[in-house]
Amino acid sequence: MANTKSAEKAARQSTKHRARNDALTSQLRTAIRKATLAVKSGKQDEALAALAEATPVIDGMVNKGIIHRNKAARHKSRLTKQVSALAK
C-alpha cells in the first residue's frame, strides 16, 4: 500500500500505463500473427497485404516505447524474408 500522495499517484498511473501497454502489445502480436498465418497459407498476395498492415503497427510500437527498435527491426526482417520466400 502506498504511504505518500506521490506513491498513490504513481500506483494509479502504473495501473493505467499497464492497461495501455497490454492493449498495445496485444495489437502488435495480432498484427504479427496475421502476417505469419498469411505466409503459412502460401498465398503471396495475402502475405504481402498482411506485411503491409503489420509494418506500420510494429513501427508505431517503437515510437510509443512498447518494444525496442531492434526487436521491431527483427520482426520486420523475418516477416519480409518469409514473404519474399513465397515468390520463389
> The domain spanning residue 78 has which CATH number?
1.20.58.110
pLDDT of residue 2: 82
pLDDT of residue 88: 74
* Helix-, strand-, coil-residue percentages of the chain, each rounded to 5: 85, 0, 15
List the chain residues with pLDDT less than 50: none
pLDDT of residue 56: 98
CA-to-CA distance for 20 and 13, rounded, in angstroms?
A: 11
Q: Which amino acid is at 28?
A: L
**Could you give the number of structural domains in the chain?**
1
CA-to-CA distance for 12 and 36, rounded, in angstroms?
A: 36
What's 65's DSSP letter? T
